[in-house]
Structure 1
């Protein structure tokens, strides 16, 4: 479950893909309770019938949380999340949609203030069962360099 990977070990354009996970009504209800977001877009089926998409949709933050969680299979003790940039909710996710995530190493750069670390940028794309991108963002990893540990 632990796999050490230093900054130098990351290769741009390397990709990994998760298995699928179906979003359920329970997911939406629990997320609403945890966040306090009970907007009708997520909770009111009858109101949603009068709107553009016609159905209740998952919270964007739910899709983000589940998608990020799906990518966290192995723990790298040499890296930690440094944040997320350019987060976009591109298409709605509905009850019964199955999502999967593709992560692509997009870029590597030195950290401007921490010479013993680099920043690895991962492009995170969450797709539905029709392979349509529903969410995209960049995940920044703060990663230790090998030179400091050999």
Structure 2
């Protein structure tokens, strides 16, 4: 082994003040599998026939089984946590304040999805140490169809007051 020192480089922390409205991030992709749908049904107790019954689902307008909407939301959340900006913010997220979702198209078993995260609003709170970050998270499949649109409002720690002048990325 070499005498060279090994250093673990901690990611730079991202605060409310480091974000900018309009900034966008794209996640890695992930395929939605049969196992995902079956395991989510078991975990959630949601055995809706549209998700678990091949014959029933074939007779619906979708023509086949589709993934649970909440499974797609969960996958989106997981993909976003792996973004470098999200990893750098984790220590400063104080809570999820609001979440709104809609599913304009189905996610089919076998679809490969990714998330486009856009910071849409930054609102300081009355408390000088906090701000509300609003993010739009759109889940897009391999056909470039948006299958889920969501808005997340997070309470995020602000950079310490004595360090705000040097804020920014």
TM-score by length of 1: 0.92
Match of 2:116 in 1: 102
How far apart, CA to CA, are the structure 2 residues paired with 1:57 and 1:81? 31
Asked if the contact 1:81/1:139 (under 8 Å) is kept, the reply is no
**In the alignment, is residue 120 of structure 1 matched against residue 168 of structure 2?**
no
Unmatched 5+ stretches in structure 2 = 1-9, 164-169
Higher helix content, 1 or 2 = 2
Deviation per residue, 1:38-64 (Å, 9 max, x gap): 010000000111110100000000000
Match of 1:87 in 2: 101
Asked if the contact 1:58/1:94 (under 8 Å) is kept, the reply is yes
Match of 2:30 in 1: 21
**In the alignment, is residue 54 of structure 1 matched against residue 77 of structure 2?**
no
Task: Spell out structure 1 runs of 4+ moving beyond 2 A.
Answer: 83-86, 147-150
Match of 1:63 in 2: 72
Higher mean displacement: 30-39 or 69-78: 69-78
The number of equivalent residue pairs is 149
TM-score by length of 2: 0.82
**Alignment RMSD (CA, Å):** 1.5
